[in-house]
Structures are given as structure tokens and as C-alpha cells.
Structure 1
Amino acid sequence: MSRDRDGTADAPTIQEKLPDPQRAPLRLSEFDLQDKVFVVTGGGRGLGLTLAEALVEAGAKVYCLDRLPEPDDEFRDVQTRLGPKYGGELLYDRIDVRQADDVDRVVARIAQRHGRMDGCVTAAAVQNVTPALDYPADKIMEMLDINYKGVYCTAVSCARQMIKYDCAGSILLVASMSGLVANRRLTSSVYNSSKAAVCQLSRSLAMEWAKIVNGKPIRVNALCPGNIITPMVLKNFEDDPKLKAAWEQGNMLGRLSHPHEYRGAALFALSDASSFMTGSQLVIDGGYTAW
């Protein structure tokens, strides 16, 4: 049983949640996020919310940051289901990741409230499927402001607070397999290259921050999902009715993924289970890039 600073008993850890016969003191404890604090951008719905949910189930306090004025029903449903039973908490704050000062202010306020910051997931992103020859030059920075600048600013803001409160922790940048290879039939060169930039950012920050917290690391890794069934992708299927079948045939498992299939990866990357992993790309794509 973990305890708050005043000595009162807190929620049970992962080990203590298991029935007595199943408890194994030397197992699973590295996945425990009890009392840790994280922010998840793009956490109002979709993949970001799904990853945040997994962290809360492991005991973390998770702030979902999104540009929605108020969280929608999907967020409320998850928040209600989680309740206090896992020892964590799911919270919401409005933010525009394109505004560096706004990101700094919100992240600093969260860290001050809890006296710590343990990491983040940068899931805020947009996509626009347009052939390169037709892509308006004045629209390029609109996407990069969210998909790259927003990721950069969030990671830096969290790192500042992790250093301030002496919290060695972990940052997970959501990239894409589209940042590693040419994703067939996804004619979105700006999106694809923005995700490639996120992959490189994870390597660069991992190098810079390997011993930055009094000799301890802020680990930085990139999650590279394959094709996921999300509202954004369903819109792609409406525009190109043959796209779904093509993507399904493009990977070894012959199907598309769902957001919940990345929960374990997020928990692994944000917890001590991945303590020797930094500067890596965690590719989960059904074998698409392994052909």
C-alpha cells in the first residue's frame, strides 16, 4: 500500500490489486505508475484518450490536454468508468499545442499542483490527404505547427518540470510508421514527413537528456503505429473506397489496428519496465514495415 506525504494510506498498487494467490512481489511492479503524474496531448478522444486510460489503470494521475473547449462524451464515459478504483485519476485541461507559452503555463501549473512531473505522451496530430502537386504551400506550416512544433513544445515543457522537481521519467512521442517508410496510397507527404521529424526528435532529445536530471535520464522514445481505425482514417476511406482493402493487404496480419492495441506499448514506454530504452522507435504495424 503506497502512502501520501502525510502518511495516510493511498490506493493499492498493481501488486495489491491482485488476489492473494496471484501476487508475485518480483513481477509487474515495474509497470506500476501509482502517484505518478503525466500529461497526454490530443487526449480528449481517440488514441490519446485510449493511452491515457491505460496509464490511469496503472495508478497514474493523467491530464488529457486538448483544444476542445469541453471534453466530449467519449472522455466523460472513460472518466466515469475509471472512477477512483484504480488509484489514478483522469483529468482534462484545454490547451493549444501550437502556443508554446500556453503549453508551458499549463504543464507548469500541473507540476506545481502535484510537486512532480513524470512524463508525457504527445498524441495531438492532424492529417490531410492531398497529393504533393496539389498541396498549397501556405498550408504546410499549419500541419507542422501541430504535428511537429506541438510535439516539440510539449516535450520541452514537460522536461523543464521534470528537471525542476527532480523526476527522472519518460516521454513518448507518437509518430507513425508513415515516418519510417512510404505508406502506400497515403498521399500525404507533409503528414508523413512530419512524423519522420518526430522520429528524429525522439533520438535527438534522448541524447540530450540521457543524464539531465542530476545524472538520471529523461528517456524519450517514439511510438510508430501502423494503420489505425480512427475517425480521421474513416474519413480517408470515404474519400477512397479502395483504401481500406489496400491497407489491410499491406501488412502481415491482413487487418487494421484499433487504438486499444497500443495501450500496453504506452504503459511499457512510460513505466520502469522500459528503463533501458531511450531513443528508440517502437514500431507496431502488423508487420507492414517488415516485408
Structure 2
Amino acid sequence: MGRLDGKVAVITGAAGGIGREAALLFSEEGASVVVADVSAESGEKTAAECREAVFEKVDVSDAGSVEALYDAATRRFGGVDVLYNNAGIMPPDDDSILTTEPDAWDRVHAVNARGVFLCCKFGIPRLLDRGGGSVINVASFVALMGAATSQIAYTASKGAVLSMSRELAVQFARRGVRVNALCPGPVETPLLMRLFSDDPAAYERRRVHLPMGRLATAREIASAALFLASDESSYVNGATFLVDGGLSAAYVTPE
């Protein structure tokens, strides 16, 4: 018996990285999965590797596209029980506030903050139709900590996700909907590893701050999302769910 038997999960950003691992894991645990992403080729591949899944192309920054996503999920599987709002971007031109242009700020917020807003706006009514469900909004440890190696738009967008999640958690708690902010630490994803590939020193500068001495794997973050999606977390609501290997707790790390 799987931990998500009978549940329908919509996962955005599911074509690769953490979202892909979550789609595969949720499927293994019995969920019917809607693999939602802007990348059709990779998204179709992920869906094909799941037990029961369908791919839906979506631009999370576009209201019509997001609404159509949940319409399609409901038509295909009869309803929605889990929203895993995972889609996000961190482009290379998002840097210090002194160098980041307004266009980069707008692009990041369109996906990372507006995208979560739209997925909740159109997804939560589907959960209410089922009598409740779980919303997992991906924030980040950077919503809680500062960094001299700044990605100012990304950091601000994740702070917005964290605050939004708390408010939604309080608003919908008595209607059976739980909303939590999943806050990963640095993860071995293609997005992050591309940033380090040309500059190994940048990775080493960060690794020294990690108490466990390594980045998280995508599966480790997906496993935390599985807990939040399942009924095992039935009294977890409005949480800042940190999965950062102790990074946010560290002052001095082991030598």
C-alpha cells in the first residue's frame, strides 16, 4: 500500500530536477500524477516513466495556462488532492541589486512568485471540491538567510512564497486544506550545477558552510515533499519546512 494511494498530484516544474524526482516518487507511492512543465519533451519523458501520469504543458506565469492545467487534471483524474508548486527559475543575470536589471527581477518574480500565486488561486478551489488537500509551495532557505553572493530577485521571490504560504495556511485550515512552504537548501540540480560548472571555487566557497559537507540530492527533497503530500503530515500546516542539512542552524561547521 502506497503513502499516496488514491491521490491526484499536480507537480509544476516536473520535467527535471526535484520536480521530476517528486513525480517518480509520488507515482511509486500510488498517486496519479500530472507532470506540468513548459518543456514538453522532458515532461513527456517524465510522465512516461511514471506508473500513472499525464503531461500537461504550462506556463505558470500565465493565468489562462494555469487555469487550463487544473481543468485538464480534473477532467483526466476526476479531481486534485495535492498541489506541488515547484516551478522556479534562477537566471544568470539575477545577481547583486547593483547589477540586476528590472527585466531580470520581473522575469524571476513572474515564475517564482506569480506562478505560485496562480497555482494556488486556480488549484485550491479544486482541493476544496474534494473536501481538502495539501499544498506544497517551494520556497528556499534563502528566504530565511542572507548571502553576500546574492541573487536578489530569486531571494525576494522565495520570501514572497514563504509569506504567501503562511497566509493561505491560516485562511484555509478549517476547510481541510493544508499549506506548507518547503524550503530546500542547496541541491544537486542541473540549474544549480550549471552555475558551478565553470567556477569550482564558487562551489567550494559554499560547501564549507554546509554542516554535512555536501549538497542535497533531488530525491532527498522529493522525499520531504512526499511527507507533506501524505496524510502522515495531517497536522503540519503553515510550516517553514526546512530541508537544508543544518545549513540555517550553522555558525561554525566541522573541519
Contact 1:221 1:278 in 2 (8 A): yes
Q: What SS does the corresponding residue of 2:19 show, helix, strand or coil?
A: helix
- Do structure 1's residue 139 and structure 2's residue 108 form an aligned pair? no
Aligned twin of 1:29: none
Between the aligned residues of both structures, percent identity stands at: 31
- TM-score, normalization by structure 1: 0.81
The one-character-per-residue Cα deviations of 1:202-249 (angstroms, maximum 9, x if unpaired) are 10100111123xxxx210001111111111111211353311112211
5+ residue gaps, structure 2: 251-255
Alignment of 1:1-291 (within 5 A): 13-14=1-2, 32-71=3-42, 76=45, 79-80=48-49, 82-83=50-51, 89-128=52-91, 129-163=94-128, 165-185=129-149, 187-212=150-175, 217-291=176-250
Q: In 2, are the aligned partners of 1:172 and 1:266 still within 8 Å (CA)?
A: yes
Q: Structure 1: which amino acid aligns with 2:142?
A: S
The answer to whether the 8 Å contact 1:117/1:167 transfers is no
Query: 1:114 Cα shift?
Result: 2.5
Find the counterpart in structure 2 of residue 21 from structure 1. none
Task: Give the secondary-structure state (helix, strand or coil) at the position aligned to 2:113.
Answer: helix
Distance (whole Å) between structure 2 residues aligned to residue 200 and residue 287 of structure 1: 22
State whether residues 227 and 247 of structure 1, in contact with CA within 8 Å, keep that contact through their aligned partners in structure 2: no
**CA RMSD, 1 decimal:** 1.7
The one-letter code sitting in structure 2 at the alignment partner of 1:33 is L
Distance 1:60 1:288 in 2: 32
d(CA) in 2 for partners of 1:254, 1:122 = 28
Secondary structure at the aligned position of 2:173 is classed as: coil
Unaligned runs of at least 5 residues, structure 1: 1-12, 15-31, 84-88
Structure 1 residue 77, shift from structure 2 partner: 6.3
* TM-score, with structure 2 as normaliser: 0.92
CA contact (8 A) 2:47 2:55 kept: no
Displacement of 1:51 in angstroms is 1.1
Q: What's the secondary structure of 1:134's corresponding residue?
A: coil
CA distance in 2, matches of 1:240, 1:132: 21
Q: Read off the aligned partner of 2:33 and give its amino acid letter.
A: V
